[in-house]
């Protein structure tokens, strides 16, 4: 059976070019970049080159980058690091209700240390209100942390405008760009962000590598203390192969983004229009335009998401859901319920996230099999019967 992945927001395969680039650093050039002898020289150069590629991608200076182990670590470092470094200045953080758990749970953890967080609401489109953001800023506010693009819906926050407000009010601004990277431009100078998170495995690099942009002058208390690595801001022997991979991945992202985005957008549009045309009672979640080109989030009324995923999986299609049942928790997606969706509609949501491997044929196949799946599950649903 053909396997089709419509779950690229969960993770991406390692691109061939990325794999080729990192391979020598798993096989031959295995030295420690800190060593002064022959074994260290190749790895050292490779780390420097990886950083250079990252700087080009961010449009920043080399001292403004820190390699980490994941998007989650970058988010933790940005938020805790800034909060700890600025705790004498204030204890207030502003974020939103629809952030990734690596942001929400970090803010929750900081609450135990006396930090306070304002969680901005989002509207039915998944967008925040900039006036509310500005109104939430107090003299104690030290950090605004928001997503660049939402992982579940693809909704894009107005990063430039948030950055302008943060700058005007003298508050540090962190953007979680894990889902945005490679799908929309990320020029940190144009955007006025102070801290920006990316993650390798969402970008066709392997799992276990991430990065954080840290604007010159922004001080962070390290999360991981150790040697002199990353200019004393993140200890631990460098993940050389991972750094090389991320460097190659962002190079490719920069090169291919424009064309890929266009391709994604065409497929996304076909999926949305196709689902709406073929299946009654469906709802596209998230602002219709302000959204990543690769992400479709659809609620299929009267049915539960996981059961749809299992059906899709049996047909070779990988997708994900905002249903509680896929995450092992009892509550449905906090992103969708924050947007005002009913529990039922949240449970009935499916996310299709496109990537490089997808083709128009994949879309054809999805549109072909989806109506019967939804109909079958609806025929078993007590809610569907009740609504008729």
Instruction: Supply the minimum distance, in Å, between the C-beta of residue 150 and ligand PLP.
Output: 7
371 touches which of another protein, ligand PLP, its own copies, none (CB within 5 to 8 A by kind)? Answer: none
DSSP characters over 138-155: -TTEEEEEEESB-TTT-B
Instruction: Supply the minimum distance, in Å, between the C-beta of residue 247 and its own copies.
Output: 14
- What tokens appear for 311 in the block? 């059906």
Closer residue to its own copies, CB minimum distance, 40 or 158? 40
Contact with another protein (CB under 8 A) among 2, 16, 27, 36: 36
- Does 149 engage in binding with another protein (CB under 8 A)? no
Closer residue to its own copies, CB minimum distance, 208 or 274? 208
Within 314-333, which residues bind another protein (CB under 8 A)? 314, 323-326, 328, 330-332
Closer residue to ligand PLP, CB minimum distance, 186 or 279? 186
26 touches which of its own copies, another protein, ligand PLP, none (CB within 5 to 8 A by kind)? Answer: its own copies
Instruction: Supply the minimum distance, in Å, between the C-beta of residue 241 and its own copies.
Output: 6
Closer residue to ligand PLP, CB minimum distance, 221 or 327? 327
Instruction: Give the residue ranges of DSSP H helices in the chain.
Output: 16-22, 24-27, 38-58, 71-85, 101-111, 130-136, 159-169, 188-191, 229-232, 240-278, 305-314, 324-327, 334-338, 343-347, 360-379, 382-387
- What tokens appear for 81 in the block? 């690091």
151 touches which of another protein, ligand PLP, its own copies, none (CB within 5 to 8 A by kind)? Answer: ligand PLP
Own/partner pairs, 61-64, CB within 8 angstroms, 24+ separation: 61/216, 63/216, 63/231, 64/188, 64/213, 64/214, 64/215, 64/216
Is 325 annotated in the active site? yes
The site for ligand PLP (CB under 6 A) is made up of 70-72, 75, 100, 102, 147, 151, 176, 178-179, 199, 201, 210, 236-237
HEC letters along 63-129:
HHEEEECCHHHHHHHHHHHHHHHCCCCCCEEEEECCCCHHHHHHHHHHHCCCCEEEEECCCCCCCCC
Beta strand 317-318 pairing with 92-96: unpaired
Residues in contact with another protein by CB under 8 A are: 36, 41, 302-307, 310, 314, 323-326, 328, 330-332, 342-344, 347, 379-383, 385
Just list the catalytic residues: 325
């Amino acid at each position: 059976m053909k396997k089709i992945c419509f779950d690229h927001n969960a993770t991406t395969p390692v691109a061939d070019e990325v794999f080729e680039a990192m391979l020598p650093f798993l096989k031959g050039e295995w030295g420690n970049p800190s060593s002064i002898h022959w074994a260290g020289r190749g790895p050292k150069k490779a780390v420097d080159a990886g950083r250079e590629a990252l700087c080009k991608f961010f449009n920043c200076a080399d001292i403004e980058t820190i390699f980490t182990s994941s998007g989650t670590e970058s988010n933790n470092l940005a938020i805790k690091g800034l909060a700890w470094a600025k705790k004498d200045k204030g204890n207030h953080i502003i974020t939103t209700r629809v952030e990734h758990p690596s942001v929400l749970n970090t803010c929750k953890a900081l609450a135990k240390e006396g930090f306070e967080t304002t969680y901005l609401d989002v509207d039915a489109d998944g967008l925040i209100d900039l006036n509310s953001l500005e109104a939430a800023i107090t003299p104690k506010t030290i950090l605004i942390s928001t997503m660049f693009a939402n992982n579940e819906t693809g909704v894009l926050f107005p990063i430039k405008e948030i950055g302008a407000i943060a700058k005007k009010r003298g508050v540090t601004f962190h953007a979680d760009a894990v889902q945005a990277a490679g799908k929309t431009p990320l020029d940190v100078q144009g955007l006025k962000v102070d801290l920006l998170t990316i993650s390798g495995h969402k970008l066709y690099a392997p799992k276990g590598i991430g990065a954080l942009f840290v604007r010159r002058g922004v001080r962070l208390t390290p999360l991981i203390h150790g040697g002199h690595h990353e200019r004393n801001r993140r200890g631990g022997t460098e993940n050389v192969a991972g750094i090389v991979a991320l460097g190659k991945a962002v190079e490719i992202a920069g090169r291919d983004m424009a064309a890929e985005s266009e391709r994604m957008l065409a497929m996304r549009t076909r999926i949305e229009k196709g689902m709406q045309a073929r299946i009654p009672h469906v709802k596209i979640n998230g602002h219709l335009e302000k959204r990543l080109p690769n992400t479709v989030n659809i609620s299929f009324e009267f049915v539960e998401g996981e059961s749809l995923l299992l059906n899709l999986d049996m047909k070779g299609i990988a997708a994900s859901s905002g249903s509680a049942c896929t995450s092992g928790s009892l509550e449905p997606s906090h992103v969708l319920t924050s947007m005002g969706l009913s529990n039922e509609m949240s449970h009935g949501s499916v996310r299709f996230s496109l990537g490089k491997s997808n083709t128009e044929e994949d879309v054809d196949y999805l549109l072909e099999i989806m109506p019967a799946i939804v109909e079958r599950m609806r025929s078993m649903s007590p809610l569907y019967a009740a609504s008729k």
